[in-house]
Structure 1
Amino acid sequence: MTPLLQFFTAREGSARRDLFTLTALFGFALFFRLGALPLIDPDEGRYAEIPREMLERGDFITPHLNYVKYFEKPPLHYWLDALSFKLFGLNEFAARLPGALMALVGILFTYHLGRRCFGRKSGLYGALVLGSSLGWLVIGRYNVIDMTLSVCMTLALGCFLLASRPEERHPGRYYYLFYLFAALTVLAKGLIGLVLPGGIILFQLLLTGRWRLLKEMRLPTGIALFLLVGAPWFVAVSLRNPEFARFFFIHEHFERFLTKVHGRYEPPWFFIPVLVGFMLPWSLFIPATVRGIWRERQTAAGEARLYLLLWSAIIFVFFSLSDSKLVPYILPIFPAVALLIGDLFDRCVERPAGLRLPAWLAAGLLTIGGIGVALYPFLAQRPRFSVTDMAIIGGILLVEGVAALLLLSRRALPATLVAFCLMSYLLAVAGAPRVLARTAERKSSKELGLLARAKAGPETVLATFGMYRQGLSYYAERRVVLVNNRNELDFGSKIGDQSAWFIKTPAFIALWNSPTQVIAMIGKDDLAKLAPQLTKPPQLLGSQQDVLLVANY
């Protein structure tokens, strides 16, 4: 047996060595060329601009976006980004570093949780499944709040599971860590940091009958710790901003969940293809993980599996029922699903009858998908990605699928799982960045933002017509006048006198024709319509596809 094979198949082994190996493997995937691509709008630009303004204003209580109050999210991720900017400067690497670190912590904790609950191999396999899931690695390299939320929630839910194990010799420390990370989850995304862990734990107690855990949970001191960590910012921001509570708790929680106010409605089945695609090929093994969980729930390992199943199912159903959906919302279920799959592999790899069908399905789907991706540039009328990009991604998928089919035909299931892991890792490292690079060409404001910063004087007005790309504020390092567009800044635009910063077309024409120097980001078609009314001919400074940067001087 080779040392590598022995490392992955040994029942016992050094936890320190395992953690080091996982850190090296997935640290490379998460941090290599992390700052190579410009920030992609709207999300990356938004979540970089808010902490930049925090540092500029010296105000870490009231978040601002384009210099108006912005209360859609609590500040934990902003604080982490602000700290990263302080340490490494205003750049793309610093903006993405907190999310990448969180993603790595999530992988390492998944290993720790699996090792403690099921044994070394289950923990190792679970970490490998999570780390080779395309969605986890891609979002880990993307500056959004969802990874911070997901890992904080994973740490909270995982610490509760570890504390509640009958064989745990020091449950107190894990209970207190549960309260700590639950508070950080609230600081990352709001009340779901209470609602989702609370619902999962409640259903676990109902189904297992272990109500005595309520006496063991250190509720008085734990709640005190939770409030000590989680409450001060909410108190401080409410005292400074009387309008905060209604907007944040009512609009951003209840109205977002129950109505289509945010314009993010998707059908209830929306997250099914998201989960399948973002965890492919592992997602096809999910049905097999459920087998026997209810029957074995009274055993220690069975109770842990039931908890992981509830963790996955409750979060999945919660967001599926919401009228506001975005792809990363179900990211918090990935560690639990990965652990269930890793534990399944550990238990069944030597008796693989139950794994053959999903493995064949995964191999077939990857083969067909690889061919489809490679042919995409030739079949689409206006392909967004090049032949080379799709050939690389399609080639990886095709090789993964064909290799799996060949191995399965020889009944080599363990080798098939290794092939899945290696090729999925390669897809995330070599394939996904090419898609993101093409996306950045269309949806990044870096080139035009840096150009605006270089051309603008101290009194120059920077404006956007009919759009707001948050990255423009970040790269230009100044406030932007929004013409015919308030969108997510609608709430902040109504606080104080913001009339000079949110204007309509007539006011923009008057501003352009005045002695004031103006630089504007505007669509090519919009400029053509306005041109007859502009007495100062627009001077082209730069362009990005159909978006122009023009000046009146």
Structure 2
Amino acid sequence: MRSAKPDAGANDLTARRMLVAWCWFVLVFFSVSGSKLPSYILPMFPGLALLLTQRLRHADSAAVRWHVLLPTLFWFGVLVVSTQIHRLPLGETPGEVLEVLAAQLRIAAGLYLAGAAVAWWELRRRRLTAALVSIAMGHFLATTAAMLAHDAYGQLKSAAPFAEALLGSIDKDTPVFAVRRYDQTLPYYLQRNVVLVDYVDEFAFGQRQEPGKAIPSLEDFAVRWRSAPRAAAYMGHDTWRELDRAGLPMRVLYRDPRLVVTKP
């Protein structure tokens, strides 16, 4: 007796349902989770890619042209905004860093738009595969260039510069206070823990278990600061000005657009 051939349509439907369930589970689970980062949904993307592949097998050139339009408008907007980045409020970011970011974003937008132009031309000739390869390469090169643009900005988030200033002025017994902010890389550079001041965020559970390890307010910090024989602290400019107006003795060791490092 011959075995019945599997139904290709039924197999496709089963695979599609499994992929949809996969994607929805990852998205919903990590969206409702109380502790999450954007990168946690990365396991969803292989499933999305396979669903997209299934869809593209039956797509026509006219439909794909409309789908190319939206990302093209987005990258064109990025190109326009990158030429006007000097008009944006700088905040804590130095202007020269924003200029590097803008220049790299212009390169990224140009790469995508070039790929989109080739894809549009290929779609007019009904060469769907060549068009998809072109748009995919445009996306890949553009996002890679945009990620490289973040390097200059990312250096501003590093604790290395002010950790060096701290290490040059403290010994192993000197407490270091993180006042109203916390840099996750600083304990690594200092090879010691820091004392949190008026800062909770992800440390809420730990502070409930060991409340004596953190200082809950600036007033309590001022008392501790005045009584400590040796100490160091880092804080934002607004906090530094607030403590300075309150008359707390602080000698500036290091300053950048983000923060101030002080000693008594």
Q: Do Structure 1 and Structure 2 share a fold, with TM-score over 0.5?
A: yes
- Partner of 1:337 in structure 2? 48
Question: 2:82 matched to 1:367?
Answer: no
Of 255, 260, 263, the residue aligned with 1:548 is 260
Alpha-carbon offset, residue 388 of structure 1:
0.7
TM-score (norm 2): 0.80
Alpha-carbon distance change, 459 to 434 in structure 1, aligned in 2, over 3 angstroms: same
Matches within 5 A, 1:150-165: none
Q: What is the deviation of 1:417?
A: 1.2
Shift of residue 369 of structure 1? 1.8
Aligned residue identity for 2:177: A
* Distance change in 2, residues 1:517/1:503 (3 Å): farther
Q: Which residue of 1 is the match for residue 244 of structure 2?
A: 531
Size of the aligned set, in residue pairs, is 247
- Shift, 1:419, TM fit: 0.9
What is the aligned partner in structure 2 of residue 195 from structure 1? Answer: none
Structure 2 counterparts to residues 123-522 of structure 1, below 5 A: 296-297=9-10, 299=11, 301-319=12-30, 326-345=37-56, 348=57, 354-377=59-82, 378=84, 381-382=88-89, 385-386=98-99, 387-435=102-150, 437-496=151-210, 498-499=211-212, 501-522=214-235
For 1:364, the aligned partner's letter is L
3-state DSSP class of the match of 1:455?
coil
> 2:14, 2:199 → 1: CA distance?
52
Runs (5+) with no aligned partner, structure 1: 1-294
The answer to whether the Cα contact below 8 Å between 2:108 and 2:141 also exists between their aligned partners in 1 is no
Identical aligned pairs, as a percentage? Answer: 25
Counterpart CA distance in 1 for 2:30 and 2:219 is 42
Q: CA deviation at 1:327?
A: 2.9
Q: CA deviation at 1:479?
A: 0.9
Contact 1:365 1:401 in 2 (8 A): no
Paired with 2:55 and 2:228, the residues of 1 have a C-alpha distance of: 71
Mapping for residues 101-116 of structure 1, pairs under 5 Å: none
Asked which structure has the greater CA Rg, the reply is: 2
CA contact (8 A) 1:369 1:397 kept: no
Look up the equivalent residue of 1:466 and give its one-letter code: R
The alpha carbon displacement at 1:308 in A equals 1.6
CA–CA distance in structure 2, aligned partners of residues 389 and 543 of structure 1 = 28
Alignment check: 8 A CA contact 2:180 2:198 kept: yes
Distance 1:486 1:322 in 2: 19
- Contact kept? 2:225, 2:231, Cα under 8 Å: yes
Give, in whole Å, the separation in 2 of the partners of 1:417 and 1:500: 56
- Cα RMSD for the two superposed structures: 2.8
| Structure with the larger RCO, 1 or 2 (CA within 8 Å, 6+ apart) | 1
SS at match of 2:14: helix
Q: Given residue 474 of structure 1, which amino acid in structure 2 is its aligned partner? A: Y
- Hey, what's the Cα distance between the residues in 1 that align with 2:50 and 2:14? 14
Aligned counterparts of 2:140 and 2:153: Cα–Cα separation in 1: 21
1:322 shift after superposition: 6.4
Amino acid aligned to 2:251: Q
Q: Select between 386-395 and 479-488 the one with higher mean Cα deviation.
A: 386-395
- Residues 314 and 526 (structure 1), Cα distance of their counterparts in 2 relative to 1, 3 Å cut: closer
Q: Distance in 2 between matches of 1:320 and 1:361?
A: 30
For 1:414 and 1:449, the matched residues in 2 are separated by 52
